[in-house]
A and B are shown apart, each in its own frame.
Chain A
Amino acid sequence: MAKRIDVSGLTAFYGSHKAIEDISMTVEPRSVTAFIGPSGCGKSTFLRTLNRMHEVTPGGRVEGKVLLDDEDLYGPGIDPVAVRRDVGMVFQRPNPFPTMSIFDNVAAGLRLNGSHKKAELGEIVEKSLKGANLWNEVKDRLNKPGSGLSGGQQQRLCIARAIAVEPDVLLMDEPCSALDPISTLAIEDLISELKERFTIVIVTHNMQQAARVSDRTAFFNLAAVGRPGKLVEIDETERIFSNPSVQATEDYISGRFG
């Protein structure tokens, strides 16, 4: 449970286009690491390289190393499917499976990965929904379709689905950007609880959110228009928001840029 991620010299491409260049950082276990930066600077691309989702996009490829507790995710013989079981992901827009009920959505990861006994499955679903703070709202309608829930509930359903397979790391790509403030608060509270068990990486455009939920913050930026995105600095969140060591970071978080 909760593994450390060690990235060194990571460069990601879309075909011949270089999206991010030479990124190195360490993500501590049982903590929340936030990625901030302007749109198009490669935060999401970098996030997706951490569970090999980047290569799902046609033309996507990666150079460099991503160590998950000493094991290189891009080493020879590594199965991307196995990587994604250990490193789960929650997306920007809630995306429950429309053909499945709430129960089946949460059970999907387990069921699609192999056989599980029915009683055991029920236990895991309940535990995951409780873990995602959704159990009380849906316990009476587990066999209703997941698409009938509100946006915030759907997103918590997706989080429950992701934690049901017991990953080591949970990646969140702007999980609150499609949600209202109340639902956002619910998800942020959830993130604080989940960090006891998982390593969490969250991409966000909301700097207050980064300040509220994260222990460490990484600032990404583009060197120039048309150039690949780069990691400017990563540090304790408090330091980033009070006394960053790079001028560009201070300009970005205080609203002066360009």
Chain B
Amino acid sequence: MSTAPTPAPTRATVPTPRTLRGARLPKWSPWALAGGSLVLAVLLGLVADMDNPAQLGLIAAVLFVLGTYGVAARVEGRRQAKDRVATSLVWVCFLLAVIPLASLLWETVRQGVKVLDFYFLSHSMGVVADTETGGGIYHAILGTLEQVGLATVVAVPVGVLTAVYLVEYGRGRLAKAVTFFVDVMTGIPSIVAGLFVLSFWILVLDMGYSGFAGSLALAILMMPIVVRSTEEMLKLVPNELREASLALGVPKWRTILKVVLPTSIGGITTGIMLAVARITGETAPVLLLVWGTNFINTNPFADPQASLPLYIYQQYANSAGYGAAYDRAWAAALTLIAIVMILNLVARGIARWKSPR
């Protein structure tokens, strides 16, 4: 108290504006609120005799959002409270989206690892009845890879070139018509694509059931996705790069090939991989056109083949409650997810390696 009085700085006489300082909730408050609403929801559940976890979770979510607003409005004021409500809503929505995904993955892994081993991956169902244990998915993996590969080989050049036409050359009516029909194609149900190929390729041209027939239907499904995503990526390439190349006396086609496409290769690859992931899980066209078999058929151009989605469906549908078939279906589902994921990672690696740094 008796220390020398510090000289009062003249600025201190100016009162600090109140708006710059306000009470803030501590950092841990969202966690506390979340925990509190969870406990409250469970208590409410005990009182009202509810034991459905989904129900309790939703009640907790509502309590969390409302509680955040109430507490924040009292302590920090209404503007900050709205900010916190928006944040907590984003978190709740994120959890709502992630829970089904995580539980699906978890369930598939849990059920799938039971029979998933090297034997399962390297043998077919050739001499195994659906009711017996044993057997494998070699024929189905082979079929899926061949059919998806062929569909990609057909759809990617057509899709990418269509997008190049739309972005770099397309003017007027034809471009508008192409855009319209690509949009229409995006909405085609897979079974309709399958029926189209069935009526044309198999019934009119009298070709047999084969992996390639399935690939044609898958290519139809894949094409519009590739066109749309490639189109968006090409539009992102700055016009200045095209002009820089043209001003060097480079012809337009070389400009597109050497400047525009390499600049957007990362995004284009991602789009193609999304399309591949989508068609890898298609069952309906495969059921109609590839027919399915229990034997290994390495030739996609003749005779029925198997495929993973179809295998999963058949194991589930034909086995009438025999545990062995269920286990095989789950293991095949896990393999399917793994294949899509590996393809995705490989494509991302390629895109990262190739794209501008």
- Smallest beta-carbon distance A233→chain B, Å: 28
Question: Do the beta carbons of B249 and A85 come within 8 Å of each other?
Answer: yes
User: Contacts A91-B240, A97-B241, A145-B357 hold; do A84 and B263 have CB atoms under 8 A apart?
Assistant: no
Partner of B243, one of A83, A91, A108, A113: A91
A95 to B238, CA, bound (A): 9
A95 to B246, alpha carbons, bound, how many Å?
12
Is A95 a contact of B249 with CB atoms below 8 Å?
Answer: no
Which residues of chain B have C-beta atoms less than 8 A from A147's C-beta? Answer: 356-357
Asked whether B254 is an interface residue with its Cβ less than 8 Å from the other chain, the reply is yes
A109 within 8 A of B: yes
Across the two chains, which residue of chain A brings its CB closest to B237? A98
With A95-B240, A147-B356 as contacts: A53 and B245 at CB distance below 8 Å: no
CB distance from B264 to the nearest CB of A (A): 10
Contact of B249 (CB < 8 Å), options: A56, A82, A98, A99:
A82
Q: A109 to B244: give the CA distance in the assembly, Å.
A: 10
Please tell me if A19 contacts chain B, counting CB pairs below 8 Å.
no
Contact partner of A51 (CB less than 8 A), chosen from B244, B247, B258, B357, is B247
Query: Measured between alpha carbons, how far is A45 from B309 in the docked complex, in Å?
Result: 58
Q: Any chain B CB within 8 A of the CB of A165?
A: yes
Cα–Cα, bound, A93→B262 (Å): 21
Pick from A58, A82, A84, A158: contact of B246, CB under 8 Å: A84
Q: Interface 1/0s, chain B 224-239, versus A by CB < 8 A?
A: 0000000000000010
Q: How large is the interface on B (under 10, 10 to 19, 20 to 34, 35 or more residues)?
A: 20 to 34
A78 at the interface (CB under 8 A from B): no
Q: Which of B244, B249, B255, B355 is most buried by chain A, counting CB atoms within 10 A of its CB?
A: B249
Complex CA–CA separation, A51 to B246 (angstroms): 10
B residues 197-241 touching A (CB-CB < 8 Å): 238, 240-241
Q: Is A88 an interface residue (CB 8 A)?
A: yes
For the complex, is A161 an interface residue (Cβ under 8 Å from B)? yes
Give the distance in Å from the alpha carbon of A112 to the alpha carbon of B261 in the complex.
14
In the complex, which residues of chain A have a beta carbon less than 8 angstroms from the beta carbon of B129?
none
Q: Chain B contacts of A97 at CB under 8 A? A: 241, 244-245, 259, 263
Chain A contacts of B247 at CB under 8 A? 51, 53, 84, 88-89, 91, 162
B243 touches A53 (CB 8 A): yes
C-alpha spacing A84/B255, complex, angstroms: 13
> Which of chain B's residues have a CB closer than 8 A to the CB of A96?
244
Q: Which of B171, B248, B258, B356 contacts A85 (CB 8 A)?
A: B248
- Chain B residues, CB < 8 A from A185: none
Q: Indicate whether B346 reaches chain A with its CB closer than 8 angstroms.
A: no
CB–CB A113/B262 < 8 A? no
With A93-B240, A112-B254: A99-B248 Cβ-Cβ less than 8 Å: no
**Does B249 contact A109, Cβ atoms closer than 8 Å?**
yes
Task: Report yes or no: A98 in contact with B243, Cβ–Cβ below 8 A.
Answer: no
Q: Is A1 an interface residue (CB 8 A)?
A: no
A97 to B250, CA, bound (A): 13
Interface: B187 (CB within 8 A):
no
Interface status of B5 (Cβ within 8 A of chain A): no
Task: Find out whether the CB atom of B246 lies under 8 angstroms from the CB atom of A99.
Answer: no
Chain B residue at minimum C-beta to C-beta distance from A93: B240
Is B251 engaged at the interface, CB distance under 8 Å to the other chain? Answer: yes
With a CB–CB cut-off of 8 A, which chain A residues contact B248?
84-85, 88, 108-109, 112-113, 161-162, 165
A81: interface (CB < 8 Å): yes
Q: In the A-B complex, list the 6 residue pairs whose CB atoms are closest, starting with the nearest.
A: A85-B249, A98-B356, A109-B248, A89-B247, A84-B249, A95-B240
A-B contact pairs, 19 of them (CB 8 A): A51-B247, A53-B243, A56-B243, A81-B246, A81-B252, A84-B249, A85-B248, A88-B247, A88-B249, A89-B243, A91-B244, A91-B247, A93-B240, A109-B249, A112-B245, A112-B258, A112-B259, A145-B357, A165-B248
